[in-house]
């Protein structure tokens, strides 16, 4: 492992000094503490990683700084039971990343497999939505909403139907779009992995492009979180 590799220890850590029940909602607990540093730390949604010894779990939360200069904050976490984290220093994950993305990179035994992606059929439908504008002369009123046929995953894609032209997706009578699920996204950099191209697939059906796998996953490197 080279010095440039980033691990969980390089993430900001929150040292918990108090754990209180939230008076307004007892499903939430209030963690009061101090950060070791505040770069990449902002108010709002976040997660706190539990120690790996406790299993691959995390506390989803909402951060409010008390004094940013002093690095003190309170984090409201949703938990069925009062979390036993008093005195612990917990790694902080900002909203743009998920604990799953951390675990699947740093856990050496995470079962990745190099795989060829092939296009599959999709299910599509036309939906109305006038709330999005793609420019002064491109008021979009209709979209083609598609998902992978036969998949239980709640993953949808939206393609605009421009007023000046029809969409190119051919929707059959039963809603099928032949070969319509023609790419997937790298879970780290969001680049396309197109049909006929290789990437790496894990059991939860998340893909990584070959570049991200070689650079980050193979080295258990969280540097992508620091860009």
Which residues, including other chains, have CB under 8 Å from residue 123's CB and lie 6 or more apart? Answer: 146, 147, 148, 149, 175, 176, 177
131-145 mean pLDDT: 71
- The full set of domains in the chain, from first to last, is 8-96 (2.40.30.10), 97-119+182-227 (no CATH), 121-180 (no CATH)
Q: pLDDT tens digit string along 168-199?
A: 778 898 989 999 999 999 999 999 999 999 99
Closest CA to 68 of 35, 95, 92: 35
Triad 201, 104, 196: Cα angle to 5°: 15
Residue 136 confidence (pLDDT) above 60 = no
Q: What pLDDT was estimated at residue 26?
A: 72
79-101 mean pLDDT: 94
Q: What pLDDT was estimated at residue 1?
A: 47
């Amino acid at each position: 492992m080279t010095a440039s590799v980033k691990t969980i220890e390089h993430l900001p850590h929150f040292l918990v000094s108090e754990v209180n029940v939230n008076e307004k909602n007892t499903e939430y607990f209030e963690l009061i503490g101090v950060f070791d540093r505040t770069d990449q730390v902002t108010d709002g949604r976040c997660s706190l990683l539990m120690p790996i010894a406790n299993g691959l779990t995390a506390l989803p939360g909402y951060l409010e700084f008390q004094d940013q200069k002093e690095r003190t904050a309170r984090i409201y976490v949703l938990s069925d039971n009062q979390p036993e984290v008093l005195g612990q220093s917990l790694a902080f994950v900002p909203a743009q990343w998920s604990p799953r993305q951390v675990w699947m990179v740093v856990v050496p035994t995470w079962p990745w497999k190099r795989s060829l992606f092939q296009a599959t059929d999709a299910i599509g439908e036309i939906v109305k939505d006038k709330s999005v504008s793609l420019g002064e002369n491109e008021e979009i009123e209709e979209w083609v909403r598609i998902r992978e046929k036969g998949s239980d995953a709640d993953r949808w894609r939206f393609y605009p139907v421009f007023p000046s032209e029809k969409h190119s997706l051919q929707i059959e009578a039963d809603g099928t779009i032949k070969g319509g699920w023609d790419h997937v996204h790298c879970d780290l950099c969001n680049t396309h992995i197109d049909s006929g191209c290789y990437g790496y697939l894990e059991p939860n059906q998340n893909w990584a492009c070959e570049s991200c796998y070689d650079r980050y996953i193979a080295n258990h490197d969280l540097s992508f979180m620091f860009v």
